[in-house]
Structure 1
Amino acid sequence: MSVFEAALGRIFGNPSMAVAAVWISAATSEERTVRVMRRAQDRISEFGAGRFVSDTMLVDVRVSDLPDPRPGDLIVIGADSYTIQGEPVRDRERLIWSLDLRPS
């Protein structure tokens, strides 16, 4: 285990930084408990002369917890259910997935 993986374990284990979630595969209905860090920044999109601000829901999850997320899979955080939209993206060290979610 690298130093980065050990640090991520502590960060994702901290209840102030990450929350428990359930991943549900759209293909096989397999379920897995994971810890996610939520990032809900606004996204600015331009269309012609207009600029639109929209809410987003992004989460980070460790690759070791969730090796193969796919678009259409569900992430359930508390009572809220989200669908992964778009392709999941890994960080440079290939340790964290960033998932773009939309409400289900």
Structure 2
Amino acid sequence: MNAFAAATDALFADPNLGETALWQAGGIGPGVPVRVIRRRPDAVVEFGASRALMATVLIDLRRTEAATIDEGDLVVIGADTFKVIGTPSSDAVGLVLTCEAVKV
């Protein structure tokens, strides 16, 4: 394991950042336990000359736990269920996948 992988594992294990979740491929089945980091940054969207502030949900997962996560999959965090709405993107070193999601 290299230093980046060790640091990533430490971040996901931290109870202040990481959360236990279930990943349901295709939105079905009992799910696979994973650790996630949930982020809710605001995005500024422009419509012609006006701008709107939209709340977004991003969910980070370790590639080692959910390498095949894809659009349409579900991530259940506590009582909240989120649907992945786009193709996940990877970080620069390929350790973390970031998924844009909506609450269902």
Q: Could you say which TM-score interval applies, normalised by the shorter chain?
A: over 0.9
For 2:69, give the aligned amino acid: P
2:37 maps to which residue? 37
CA distance in 1, matches of 2:71, 2:30: 15
2:3 maps to which residue? 3
1:16 maps to which residue? 16
Q: What is the percentage of aligned positions where both structures have the same residue?
A: 34
CA distance in 1, matches of 2:28, 2:102: 20
CA distance in 2, matches of 1:97, 1:30: 21
Gaps of 5+ in 2: none
1:90 maps to which residue? 90
How do residues 40-59 of structure 1 correspond to structure 2 at under 5 angstroms? 40-59=40-59
CA distance in 1, matches of 2:62, 2:98: 9
Matched, 1:60 2:54: no
Q: Is the 8 A contact 2:59 2:98 kept in 1?
A: yes
Provide TM-score, normalisation by structure 1. Answer: 0.94
Structure 1 pair 27/41, CA: closer, same or farther in 2 (3 Å)?
closer
Bigger helix fraction:
2
CA distance in 2, matches of 1:48, 1:64: 42
SS at match of 2:11: helix
Matched length: 104
Q: Aligned-residue CA RMSD in angstroms? A: 1.3
Gaps of 5+ in 1: none
CA distance in 1, matches of 2:38, 2:96: 13
Structure 1 pair 59/25, CA: closer, same or farther in 2 (3 Å)?
same
